Structure 1
């Protein structure tokens, strides 16, 4: 059996509304919100009794998704949001955009902050990292022609 696709990347957040707004400003579409709880969910995650609010965000091309989760129960046990880029575990999600500088400007209005500089990689890309709400790290890439 071959792998079919990657379904989504999950990110745990504190303020679902603020993070949804940030990713909508980036260009993702809110596909839906739901509350997940019950014995079946705890069996999947290994957390037992859980209660989680989720929001599914979709890229405009429909191929990629972010699942944003806010845990009400059990409590969050670790915080990796402000870890430097060379930390183990979740690092960042990278998005291709039409115009890096314009996108950085829009994301600043939603709490985004440039981590380093916007740099050019050969004649292929402009790249940068941004910290969004709650310290979430994302990358932006602009394909150069």
Structure 2
């Protein structure tokens, strides 16, 4: 077997960030909360007395056999520099939404931010609306909405 399982975000405040992803981006609790510690975790992370708490959330649009968004906090964490769209590593999480501008307003109202402008891009048979936003902890989120073009005869 080979399949994608989850993406992890380490949060300053996992409870607030979990609530944001549930309320604004329609992720769902699936009963997979975690309170992890022990020798195995110390060996896995390379951190002495590591302790992680958080939850796995079902991503919107998926059923029982789904990848999750894992939002955890460690007891001891380091600050990082601001996430930028053009830095190495994982750049963003993408969500397809019904209305990019409405969802962006919800993100801003919930304490998130906006990276660039809302844009429309034309494809041969579709039109897309995109924007990069940030969750309340600065992680970048891409919002996208797609419409099929009507063909003129």
Identify whether the pair has TM-score above 0.5, normalized to the shorter chain.
Answer: yes
- Kindly report structure 1 stretches of 4+ aligned residues shifted beyond 6 Å: none
CA displacement 1:77-136 (0-9 Å, x = unmatched): 3414x2321111231111111111111122222112221111112133211111111111
1:139 aligns with 142
The match for 1:117 is: 117
Q: Tell me the matched-pair count.
A: 140
d(CA) in 1 for partners of 2:15 and 2:110?
11
RMSD: 1.6
2:11/2:73 contact within 8 Å kept: yes
Q: Provide the secondary structure at the position in 2 that maps to 1:116.
A: coil
With the length of structure 1 as denominator, give the TM-score of the two structures: 0.87
When Rg is computed on C-alpha atoms for both structures, the one with the higher figure is 2
Flag structure 1 segments of 5+ consecutive residues without an equivalent.
none
TM-score, normalising length from structure 2? 0.83
